[in-house]
Amino acid sequence: MQIFILTISPETFQGPFNCGLFQKAVDKGIVKVDIRNIRDYTHDKHHTTDDSPYGGGAGMVMKPEPIFEAVETIKAELAQQEITGVPVILMTPQGQLFTQAVAQKMNQYENMIIICGQYEGVDERVREHLVTEEISIGDYVLSGGELAAMVVVNAVVRLLPGFLGSPQSLLSESHTDGLLEYPQYTRPQEFRNWAVPDILLSGNHAEIAKWRENQAIIRTKQRRPDMIERAN
Ligand code: 6GU
């Protein structure tokens, strides 16, 4: 998978993409991340990426020209490798809510371009004529789309084959089947007088599976009744 990220703040991405499992995935060639500075696609002396809104009002709006030029440059590079139809995703609090189902859909993309919105937003012509999807990570406002892009990229990339040591863990984790995950325990069997549930030590795999399913349902009912309504 190849992910292009357009941002006015490329430094922000240094931490999350350069350590741990993500770095390993890059080293293994599972994912390639190409972070590009939108400023590099400006042509004025001050490398202007934003301007005040027409009609007045507070804040700044991202200008369309550098964003179009950045996306068109990447598309032209990809077209040389006969790659076309690349999704262009805008990170914005106005977008579709990002869920595990959306992560699974995006996990199928071979290539994608992610634009990190900033300030009060981006010029509407970017949404109308360049972007194919808009994504929000939740009902709150961040100062920029960068953190949201990191969240999305992490959730999508960890689903790629070869990312996780034991891919079976993807099957039982929270949100995959519309439920929260059951409680997990590891050694020691007794810690400060708190014991691991007997059933987990029984070796009876059918009973353990039943217990876990039950726990997942109880837990989801208690914490996320909204999810129970949607689960079957
Ligand atoms: Cl994608 N961007 C910003 N700026 N704020 C957000 C968001 C995105 N998703 C939730 N809040």
- Give the per-residue pLDDT at 169: 80
Q: Is 232 a residue whose pLDDT tops 80?
A: no
Which pLDDT belongs to residue 74?
Answer: 98
Which of 142, 143, 150, 151 maximizes ligand 1 atoms within 8 Å of its Cβ, making it the mutation to test the pocket? 142
Confidence band, pLDDT 50/70/90 cuts, at residue 229: confident
Ligand 1 surroundings by CB, under 6 angstroms: 91-93, 117, 135-138, 140-142, 144-145, 148
Mean pLDDT of 169-197: 92
- Tell me how far the alpha carbon of residue 230 lies from the centroid of ligand 1, in angstroms: 24
Average pLDDT over residues 9-29: 92
> Helix, strand or coil for residue 133?
strand
Mean pLDDT (whole number) for 193-210: 98
Alpha carbon distance 8, 11 (integer Å): 9
d(CA 95, CA 139): 10
| Average pLDDT of span 3-13 | 96
Question: pTM for the complete prediction?
Answer: 0.94
Cα 101 to middle of ligand 1, angstroms: 18
**DSSP assignment letter at 167:** T
19 pLDDT tier (thresholds 50, 70, 90): confident
Q: pLDDT band for 161, please (50, 70, 90 cuts).
A: very high
Instruction: Reply yes or no on whether the pLDDT at 77 is more than 90.
Output: yes
Q: How far apart are CA 71 and CA 5, in angstroms?
A: 10
> The tokens of 88 are what?
């262009």
Query: Please, what are the domains in the chain?
Result: 2-157 (3.40.1280.10), 171-228 (1.10.1270.20)
Question: Mutate which of 8, 92, 102, 118 to test ligand 1's pocket (most atoms within 8 Å of Cβ)?
Answer: 92
- Cα 5 to middle of ligand 1, angstroms: 15
Q: Is the pLDDT of residue 191 over 90?
A: yes
* pLDDT tens digits, 110-150: 999 999 998 679 999 999 999 999 999 999 999 999 999 99
Q: Residue range 16-21: average pLDDT?
A: 88
Residues 95 and 152: beta-carbon distance below 8 Å = no
Give, for ligand 1, the residue of 8, 94, 141, 150 to mutate: max count of ligand atoms closer than 8 Å to Cβ.
Answer: 141
Ligand 1 atom at shortest distance from the alpha carbon of 149: 1
Which element (helix H / strand E) includes 71?
helix 64-80
Higher pLDDT, 205 or 168: 205
Residue 65 banded pLDDT, cuts 50, 70, 90: very high
Alpha-carbon distance 111 to 4, whole Å?
A: 8
pLDDT digits (tens, 9 = 90+) for 169-178: 888 788 888 8
Give the model confidence (pLDDT) of 143-158 as tens digits: 999 999 999 999 999 9
- Ligand 1 mean position to 137 CA, how many Å? 6
Q: Is 211 helix (H, G, I), strand (E, B) or coil?
A: helix
Cα 198 from Cα 185, distance rounded (Å): 11
